[in-house]
Amino acid sequence: MIDVCGKAKRLHILLGFALVAILLMACGDSATPSRSDSAAGASGEERVLKVALVWLDEPPDPYKAGWLAVPTGLAETLFRLNSSLKPEPWLASGAMQIDPLTWEITLREGVKFHNGALMDAEKVKGSLELALLRRPGNRTLLGIESIEVKDSATLTVVTNAPKPTLPGLLTNQNTSIADPDTVPESVDDSASGAAMTGPYKMVSFSADVSMTLEAHTEYWGGRPAVDRIEYVAISESNSRMLALQSGDVDISVNLPPQGAAVVGNDASLEVKIATPSSMNFLFVNHESPAMQDVLVRQAITTAIDRQALVDSLAEGNAVAASTIFPPGFLSCSSINGYKYDPVAARNLLKEAGYEDNNGDGIVERDGQPLELVLQTYPERPLLPPMLVAVQSMLKDIGVGSDVQIVDYTLASQGGYDLFGYQNSTITTGDPHWALSRQYLTEGDENRGNFSSPKVDELIGLLADTADTGQRQQAACEALKAGHDEVALIPVIFPNLLYGISNQVNWPGEPHPVYLYFIDNKIGLK
């Protein structure tokens, strides 16, 4: 072959590569980490905190997208959960139950909306009415019949049924307070104009890209710690971690346990751990023939080595679940948490009539092997590996199973024996909320169709109990009844992990509930 590419051409190629390399290096000079930009406040310049969130896919509407408006520091609710997960006043200053159907709520004074208007009872009434009008779920949740203004700082709220936990219900993020005069007619535009009360106010929002907020200098809780917060959306967890490592952001939320180990080894970074509030658990399909027998359900829950899942799957960043509530939320001395004991699990199966007669490793009853369908969904990264681990643990006691990754709404549609799921049981700060949703016949979150007249009765008693001490006892009794029946199988409570740069000043520990992530105190050193 004739060589047409002599030295000159080779040189051209090499020059081309060199050019690309120089270009990359040149870009590097100014592209390097914004960490120094963020910390510029030390020299009196604007202080900007950069935060990587998972989603920014819809505008932070106070009623429609409180899940975004509240944790980013834009919006606040009348009540919030404290670090012990009990409701406490936030924009309210107090609440008093006048009679079973009537509450009087007093408002915090001196609160200003982002537009400078003063928050008063009239505006809060208007905001709550909009929240009820625009969010049907709020009507179901709160059961509010009417709201009246008693004076400029007091509201009278009448409910359609006794609501002893109304302050807890008003911690719901979709009841956040906005100046009703600024909320546009169309719900689709409501995020852009709504003046809320949080420490930061909206500058710009670009769906799936970024959201910029600036300090609300008249914030009732004191001037916010930074001038501006720039949120970026990174749905991929490894990318969020790399963006933190590269200095593109100062805080990355929701790190995976493996990422936390990497961040923990970087001297310029730190992991902040929020005590857990969400539960990874298994719905039991109570309509499946195999799951009808409580002994089988007890065998399954006894066969799960929760501590092993905490240690290996979550790399220590979780707590083993002994009931549906995280540690410290509801202390019930009468309840023994499910303990890992494969021998006891095999005995329970034997008691239920299951034995491995044909020696294939799977127990059977009346010639039918005990083969289960385990389903879960991929959006929660810990769930699929958790289910695979459970599959292996079940195999150890002679229970066969098939793991399927499906859509999460299939949890309501049967077709499985156990369904791996994650949700929060502490919302509203009162155990009745989760018990009525998870254990009550036809409860909203009773996706496995558990039904027990005894449990229903005990939850009914809890609903009617107003006295705090008696409520605790009634809640424990209802919880124990569902627990003994293995209405569902709690597995672990994963920690919420934040990766932060050492430039971030985060006083105290993260709140257990992600909803209260950004406040006026988180800033830069």
Partner 1 sequence: MSGYLLRRLLTLPLLLVGISLVSFMLLNFAPGDAAEITLLRQNGGISPSPQDVVSMRQELGLDAPLPVRYVRWVADALRGDLGESYRSGSSIAGEIARRLPATLLLASVSMAMAVAVGLPLGVLAALKRGSWLDTASRLLALVGAAVPSYVMALLLMLLFAVKLGWLPAIGYGSPKNLILPAVALSFGVMAQLMRLTRATMLEALNQDYIRTARAKGLGERVVTWRHALRNALLPVITVMGTSAGHMLGGAVIVEIIFGWPGIGQFVIVGISQRDYPVVQGFVLYLAVIFLLVNLALDVLYRWLDPRLNFNRKTA
Please identify, using beta-carbon distances, which residue of 10 and 454 lies nearer to partner 1. Answer: 10
- Please tell me whether residue 441 binds partner 1 under the rule CB under 8 A: no
How many chain residues bind partner 1 (CB under 8 A)?
66
Handedness of CA 265, 269, 275, 280 (dihedral sign): negative
Residue 323 to residue 483: CA distance in whole angstroms: 7
- Please tell me whether residue 324 binds partner 1 under the rule CB under 8 A: no
Q: Three-state SS for 345?
A: helix
Find out whether 344 and 394 touch, Cβ atoms under 8 Å: no
Return the range that interacts with partner 1 (CB under 8 A); candidates 218-226, 303-311, 351-359, 407-415: 407-415
- Please tell me whether residue 174 binds partner 1 under the rule CB under 8 A: yes
Please identify, using beta-carbon distances, which residue of 249 and 504 lies nearer to partner 1. Answer: 249
Comparing CA positions, the residue from 246, 290, 285, 288 lying closest to residue 269 is 246
Segment (H or E) for 435: helix 431-438
Please identify, using beta-carbon distances, which residue of 248 and 456 lies nearer to partner 1. Answer: 248
Please identify, using beta-carbon distances, which residue of 66 and 490 lies nearer to partner 1. Answer: 66
- Please tell me whether residue 143 binds partner 1 under the rule CB under 8 A: no
Comparing CA positions, the residue from 386, 418, 399 lying closest to residue 350 is 399
200-239: contacts with partner 1 (CB under 8 A): 206-210, 232-236, 238-239
Angle at 514 between CA 139 and CA 251, to 5 degrees: 140
- Quote the strand ranges of 190-320, DSSP E: 200-206, 210-215, 228-233, 251-252, 269-274, 278-284, 318-320
Q: Other C-beta atoms within 10 Å of 340: how many?
A: 17
Return the range that interacts with partner 1 (CB under 8 A); candidates 61-69, 86-94, 121-129, 295-303: 61-69
What residues form DSSP beta bridges with 282? 420, 489
Q: How far is the CB of 185 from partner 1 (least distance, A)?
A: 14
Find out whether 399 and 372 touch, Cβ atoms under 8 Å: yes
Please identify, using beta-carbon distances, which residue of 58 and 341 lies nearer to partner 1. Answer: 58
Residue 19 to residue 482: CA distance in whole angstroms: 69
Please identify, using beta-carbon distances, which residue of 405 and 466 lies nearer to partner 1. Answer: 405
- Please tell me whether residue 406 binds partner 1 under the rule CB under 8 A: yes
Tokens standing for residue 1: 């072959």
279-298: contacts with partner 1 (CB under 8 A): none
Return the range that interacts with partner 1 (CB under 8 A); candidates 8-16, 101-109, 145-153, 506-514: 8-16
Question: Which residue from 248, 364, 417, 485 is in contact with partner 1, where contact means CB under 8 A?
Answer: 248
Q: How far is the CB of 4 from partner 1 (least distance, A)?
A: 4
Residue 70 to residue 84: CA distance in whole angstroms: 19
- Please tell me whether residue 67 binds partner 1 under the rule CB under 8 A: yes
Q: How far is the CB of 423 from partner 1 (least distance, A)?
A: 7
- Please tell me whether residue 456 binds partner 1 under the rule CB under 8 A: no
* Sole residue written with tokens 């995020």: 191
- Please tell me whether residue 33 binds partner 1 under the rule CB under 8 A: yes
- Please tell me whether residue 184 binds partner 1 under the rule CB under 8 A: no
From residue 373 to residue 402, the character string flagging contacts with partner 1 as x (rule: CB under 8 A) and all else as - is ------x-----------------------
Tokens standing for residue 113: 């909306």
Please identify, using beta-carbon distances, which residue of 141 and 486 lies nearer to partner 1. Answer: 141
Half-sphere exposure of 510 (CA within 13 A, CB side): 25
Q: Other C-beta atoms within 10 Å of 10: how many?
A: 10
Q: How far is the CB of 229 from partner 1 (least distance, A)?
A: 16
Residue 125 to residue 92: CA distance in whole angstroms: 12
Find out whether 87 and 167 touch, Cβ atoms under 8 Å: yes
Question: Which residue from 117, 158, 242, 388 is in contact with partner 1, where contact means CB under 8 A?
Answer: 242
Q: How far is the CB of 73 from partner 1 (least distance, A)?
A: 17
Q: Where are the alpha helices (H) located in 363-414, listed in sequence order?
A: 383-396
Angle at 136 between CA 132 and CA 139, to 5 degrees: 55
For 508, left (φ over 0), alpha (ψ -120 to 50), or beta? left
- Please tell me whether residue 445 binds partner 1 under the rule CB under 8 A: yes
- Please tell me whether residue 188 binds partner 1 under the rule CB under 8 A: yes
Question: Which residue from 100, 116, 137, 184 is in contact with partner 1, where contact means CB under 8 A?
Answer: 137
Binding site for partner 1 (CB under 8 A): 1-5, 9-10, 13, 24-25, 27-28, 30-34, 52, 57-58, 64, 66-67, 135-137, 140-141, 172-174, 187-188, 206-210, 232-236, 238-239, 242-243, 245-249, 379, 406-407, 409-410, 412-413, 423-424, 427, 437, 444-445, 447
